[in-house]
Amino acid sequence: MGNSNGFTLVELMIALVISAILAAVAMPGYRHIIEQSQLQQARVKLLTLHSSQELYYLKHDSYANAAQLRISGSEFFSFDVVVADNNHYQLIARSTTPRSKCKEISLNQALEKKPAACW
């Protein structure tokens, strides 16, 4: 045989195996970063809703329900407000992603954040 200008099948298979191993190692870290960014978006939304509740309280001397706040969900979380009485409420974000580690996070009028591990 003379000079060949291409790759052999074995060389291509070795390159493919190396690529697969690198992808398998990188994917869990990538998923974690994506989940953290989605959770951060939910935290920001809850804090924004908290500000909206406080503004509503200043005007109406009571807290708003979900319809009055016009809460909309996101691609990865749904949001809700539970108004216990005129002086207490809880904002809740529930994950719509089945593999999420933080299925539900909440914030109340006193800025108590639960569960602490997700904040």
**pLDDT of 58:** 95
**pLDDT of 102:** 92
H helix intervals, the chain: 9-60, 66-69
Domain limits, the chain: 9-118
End-to-end CA distance of the chain: 66
Higher pLDDT, 3 or 25: 25
Query: For the whole model, what pTM was predicted?
Result: 0.77
**pLDDT of 96:** 93
**pLDDT of 3:** 67
Q: Could you read off the pLDDT of 61-112 as tens digits, one per residue?
A: 999 998 898 888 888 999 999 987 888 999 999 999 888 889 999 999 999 9
Q: Could you read off the pLDDT of 29-65 as tens digits, one per residue?
A: 888 899 999 999 999 999 999 999 999 999 999 999 9
Separation CA 112–CA 50 (nearest Å): 11
**pLDDT of 1:** 54
